[in-house]
Structure 1
Amino acid sequence: MYRVILADDEKWIAESLIGSVDWKEQGFEIVAIASNGAEAMRLIGEMKPDVAFLDIRMPGMTGLEVVQMLRDTGSEVECVMASGYAEFEYAQQALRYGAAGYCLKPFQAEEIAGILSEVKVRIEKGKQLRSHLQEQERPEEAALDLDLAKVRGEETFTRIVQYVKEHFREPISLPDIAGRFYMHPNYVSQLFKKEMNMSFTKFLADIRMEYAGELLRTTSLSVGDIAELSGYNDYFYFARFFKKYTGVTPTEYRNRF
């Protein structure tokens, strides 16, 4: 039997999914039900299921964020997204992140049975591939496999850093970044602390202050214009923050050059 975890913040939806097919006849066993994304992550880590059915929208951590975190950590659990018609675009995004498929609400028996059949094929192919690699594995291949999760996480973080560098002039925040990359804000925060040894807020401030300093040194733009170009809509907040950051006011800084 393949082990399955369901995750949905609405109990009746989870129950309707359970009742949509004869899971045991299909070769699957439901081992746990989560009411939110964070609980789903915990259960997946503890129970190591083969499949996770995840609702697209859940409080705290969405199904998309769960899929992203699982892929970044190298998890091999097959994820199936449960979505409504209005969330179809999000379901497509989940597929790009490696989800095995998606099922639309209200659930239809034939659709769920078809998805389970496809998932079963994916699981079997994965097992065959791992078995083949183990038979022919060389030391360098083993090291590559062990580093796969790390590489995926680094690739995602690189994209986040690049986005911040390109859009720091806009009013961006940690929740904005997390939403754009379908990740939980706490996870993005942890990535910055791990990879950069600083918070997201500090990283963004460093970029903005460096740019503001460059404009003060090389242009005759007003301090108000420089504040706005550096991502600060409030001139007075910018002036106070700049002095706190550099030890001098923007005007004093400019007069040094």
Structure 2
Amino acid sequence: MKTTIKRILGLSLVTAGILSLATPAFAETGAVTTDGKASFVPQSGDINTIKPGTDEKIDIVDGNNERVTVENIQLMHVPDFDFGSNETSVDTKNYDAIYEHYQKTGDTTKYAIPHFVQVGDVSGVQGTAWAVTVEQEALFKETGGHALKASRVNLYNQTLTNNVQTGNVTDVVTGLTIPSDGAVQVPVKGVDTTGSIAVLTSKAGKTDQTTTNGTISSVVFQKDYDESNYGKVDSPALTDKNTDVKLNVPQSDGVQAKAYGAKLNWTLTVGP
């Protein structure tokens, strides 16, 4: 509290009196300290899916919307792989997957986007270790039972993103180990000996610059993915395909003119 002291000196009736003010040589202060408090618990419920490389909230349409939460780490999105309708062939063929489709929140316009996996960390803990793996449940089969014994889904390229650690995403998460001249094959359970493969893994960093805590991480199955190429008038068409996700069908599989399907299991593991 600031105090100002005023003193009035005597007023002389004999001479021309002078009224003067006197102040202290320095200001006087006082202070009171109060507390600021805040506590936090892990977020409950679904985390909004975002367009990888941005904070823009989106809704996936025409595809998978299942999610799972383990120890306050949420697997927010995994992709369907639709390889479309194709002609039979006597040759070995690679078929590209149709882009995923999404809408901007509050909008009904559909846009194409490359296939991606997304994880949100609301654990409130630095250094949480987590990983997302994938394995095909069984061979591609048609309703009559014919199986494509050697056909496999192949992932050729990837781009990692994090909505907070934008400049050092590789210090936060890792993706697939993809050969420079090849692809990573999604293994089939009980058929391939490699077992499931890790597509997105935290580095369990314990600093503000390396933790996934409070952030959303994604792996986009496309080389040099640039979010600005999607969600606008001249974006790829909904029927366009992602050349970095292919179904390889060897000629030896003798594909029939029927519809084939398979399930892929995406697993989120949290902890050592």
User: Normalized against structure 1, the TM-score is what?
Assistant: 0.24
- Structure ID, larger Rg: 2
User: Normalized against structure 2, the TM-score is what?
Assistant: 0.23
Q: Relative contact order: is structure 1 or structure 2 higher (C-alpha 8 Å, sep ≥ 6)?
A: 2
